[in-house]
Every structure is written in structure tokens, then in C-alpha cells.
Amino acid sequence: MSLQQTVTSIDSVSSAANQVLNEFLTFRLGNEEYGIDILKVQEIRGYDAITQIANSPEFIKGVVNLRGIIVPIIDMRIKFKLGVAEYDQFTVVIILNVSGRVMGIVVDGVSDVINLDIDQVRATPDFGSVIDTKYIMGLGTADERMLILVDIEKLMTSEDMGLVDQTLN
């Protein structure tokens, strides 16, 4: 099943890449570097003024006010048991806009935005990533760096994250 999905994901990457190079926002989580489609990223902000939501999983830190919108904040470090979940002035939240929903993810740090060409992207090998391969579009290489390209929309709306009432889907 995951092979089938990987193949289709790569196809979609390649078809897009033929017209425009895909831009990815890269961030660090534990020892690995990840890339997500820049078009899904709304903004990057600090971590503050969070309101806890009772009885929610530990990785859901709560909600914040983003210019009048209530936005849930998910700590990916806790979700994927990577890095140290500390909150200070350097803690970074990536605000995503996926499937019409706005949500924030806490990561170890944002690196940069890079362009990836189709020949820089390989299919996902069966490797022991913390993120299930079904959410990985492929591996990208740029200047000796290896990026795990995450289908962030699929991941964030999945049952695993519990961010969306699944009955709606």
C-alpha cells in the first residue's frame, strides 16, 4: 500500500515540478531535516499566550489567538518524541493552512526555503523514519543535505493527529 502511494506522490511532485520548481520550507526535528510545501505555510511566529485545552493529548498544547482566529498548536517534538520540548523565546511555530484549516506546529527550528527539482527527489526508501512513510512524499537532496519531504496536509488531517473530527471526512 505504501509503495503504491509513494509512486503516486512522486508523480504529483514531478508533474508540478515540470512547470515550477517546488519550494519547500525546511525545519529541524530531532536529528532530521524535513521539508514541507511552502504553499501550505501561512507564517512563522513565536510561541506565547497559549490556552490549554483540557483532556487533549499532550502534544496538543492548546489554542492561540491569531488575529481573531482560534488556532490549535501542536508540538511535533512531543508527537514524534524528538528533541526537547522547551518553550522559550526561540521556540518557533509554523502556522499552516491545510484543507482550509489553520493550525500551528512547534518544531526545533526553521532552516530555510529551498527549491527542489524533480531529479533531486527520490522515492521513499523503506527506512525507519519517525513519521509513517505514508505521509512522506519522497526524499530530497540539496547540497549534501537530505530532506524528508512530508505531505503535511495529509499528516495534519489524519486520524493519527486527532486534530479534525474524523466523522467529517
Partner 1 sequence: MSTELEQFYEVFFEESSELLAEMEACLLGLDLSSPDPEDLNAIFRAAHSIKGGAGTFGFTDMTEMTHMLESLLDKLRKGEIEIRSEMIDTFLRAGDIIKGQLAAHRGDGAADEAAAAEVSNELKQFSEETTEALNIDKESTSSTTEQPDHKPNEAKNVVVESLPATSKTEQVSFNIEFSSSGINSKSLENLFSNLSDLGKFEKLLVSDKEQNCKLRLTTYTCEENIWEALAFVVNPSQLKIEKASQTEAHTSTKLDVSSSIQIDEITSDKPSKTAVETENSACEPYGFFSGAPAAPIETEKKVKTESHSDPSVEQNILEEKSFPTDTINSLPIQKQSKPNAPTTETTSIRVSIEKVDQMINLVGELVITQAMLAQTASEVDPVIYEKLNNGMNQLERNTRNLQEAVMSIRMLPISFVFSRYPRVVHDLASKLDKKVELKTVGEGTELDKGLIEKIADPLTHLVRNSLDHGIELPEKRIATGKVAKGTITLRAFHQGGSIVIEVGDDGAGLNREKIMAKATERGISIHEGMSDQEVWMLIFEPGFSTAEKVTDVSGRGVGMDVVKRNIKDMGGRIEIDSVQGVGTRITIRLPLTLAILDGLSVAVGDQMFIVPLTYITESLQIKNTDIKTVNGVGRVVHVRGDYLPVIALHEIFNIKPNATRIEDGILIILDAEGHKAAMFVDALIGQHQVVIKSLENNYRRVMGVSGATIMGDGKVALILDTTGLVMASHKDSL
Q: How far is the CB of 99 from partner 1 (least distance, A)?
A: 10
Q: Using the rule CB under 8 A, give the single segment among 17-25, 32-40, 60-68, 119-127 that binds partner 1.
A: 60-68
Minimal distance, residue 75 CB to partner 1, in Å: 15
Calpha distance 139→125 (Å, rounded): 8
Output the CA–CA distances (angstroms, integers) from residue 119 to 22, 33, 105, 123, 140, in the order listed.
12, 19, 29, 11, 9
Q: Rule CB under 8 A: is residue 152 a binding residue for partner 1?
A: no
What are the backbone angles phi and psi of residue 62, rounded to the nearest 5°?
Answer: 140, -155
Beta bridge partners of 5: none
> Residue 49 interacts with partner 1 (CB under 8 A)?
yes
Q: Does 94 bind partner 1 (CB under 8 A)?
A: no
CA–CA dist 49, 97 (Å, integer):
20
- Of 14-22, 98-106, 108-116, 142-150, the window that binds partner 1 (rule: CB under 8 A) is 98-106
Q: Which residues bind partner 1 (CB under 8 A)?
A: 49, 51-56, 62-65, 67-72, 101-103, 162-165
